Amino acid sequence: MRIATWNVNSISARLPRLLAWLSSAQPDVLCLQELKCADDAFPRDQVGELGYAVACHGSGRWSGVAVLSRVGLDDVTRGLVDQPAYEGVVEPRAVGATCAGVRVWSVYVPNGREPGHPHYAYKLRWLEALHATVLAEADPNRPFALLGDFNIAPTDDDVWDISLFTNSTHVTDAERKALAVLRDAGLTDVVPRPLKYDRPFTYWDYRQLAFPKNNGMRIDLVYANQRFTDAVRDAYVDREARKGKAPSDHAPVVVDLHG
């Protein structure tokens, strides 16, 4: 079983690349983030032609998430337990579904903008709601995973030059503590295992030749319980999907499970 996550940075802008990637990579389940489209605008027919059912949660603004599955799509949940609002809006940043017995959540954690900004405080509250959702759904007998753009680099090695991130979001102690709380809840960061290359970044800015220079960050993560991680036989970042014409600024993260 192949499960993947990808921040596509606009489903409409990236649709040709998404369809090509679905055809070539053949994931059974794909979690998408930053759709930038409302639910009724999601290209269900196009992905449906490739055999995928869709559970999406979007409003047409800057967020939006989805789960695509060709192995079943049950128990769809939109939004987190006690999810906070920002400027009066509860944003569509999380959707959960059960696919062939595996419970997955596609999550798009708020950026935070900068420490001290109201959006940073919102990000930390949102992460608390994510933790509450994990606890509410805890079931050691069922494979469970959070997949998506966490907008947090777990360690200093997960950014190209930590000295450039002084007083920046994505690397603060409070954000990393939120990841530690998820680990304390029984989840494991799946991707830091033997990989095909060093420093498996998942995001590179469009500016200043960041991708050719590999000035990236690892902020797209897969956090999973023991039943899920025990089944992992491979995990990698598909850097090829970041190349070429009009790519997303993120690359897909792919996890292959036994069975």
Which segments are annotated as binding site for Mg(2+)? Answer: 7, 34, 149, 151, 249-250
Q: Which residue in 28, 39, 52, 108 is the catalytic one?
A: 108
108 catalytic per annotation: yes
Q: Which amino acid is at 52?
A: Y
- Please give the Cα distance from 119 to 170 (Å, whole number): 13
Q: Which own/partner pairs from 108-111 qualify as long-range (CB within 8 Å, at least 24 positions apart)?
A: 108/7, 108/33, 108/34, 108/63, 108/64, 108/65, 108/148, 108/149, 109/148, 109/149, 109/150, 109/151, 109/152, 110/86, 110/151, 111/151, 111/169
- 3 state DSSP class of 73: coil
250 catalytic per annotation: yes
- Please give the Cα distance from 183 to 202 (Å, whole number): 21
Q: Which residue in 28, 149, 189, 220 is the catalytic one?
A: 149
Residues with Cβ < 8 Å from 87, sequence gap 6 or more?
Answer: none
Query: If you write DSSP's letter for every residue of 5-65 in order, what string do you get?
Result: EEE-S-HHHHHHHHHHHHHHH--SEEEEE---SBGGGS-HHHHHTTT-EEEEE-BSSS--E
Consecutive H or E run containing 174: helix 173-184
- Please give the Cα distance from 243 to 209 (Å, whole number): 12
Query: Which residues line the annotated binding site?
Result: 7, 34, 149, 151, 249-250
SS (HEC) of 181-205: HHHHCCCEECCCCCCCCCCCCCEEC
40 catalytic per annotation: no
Residues annotated as part of the active site: 108, 149, 250
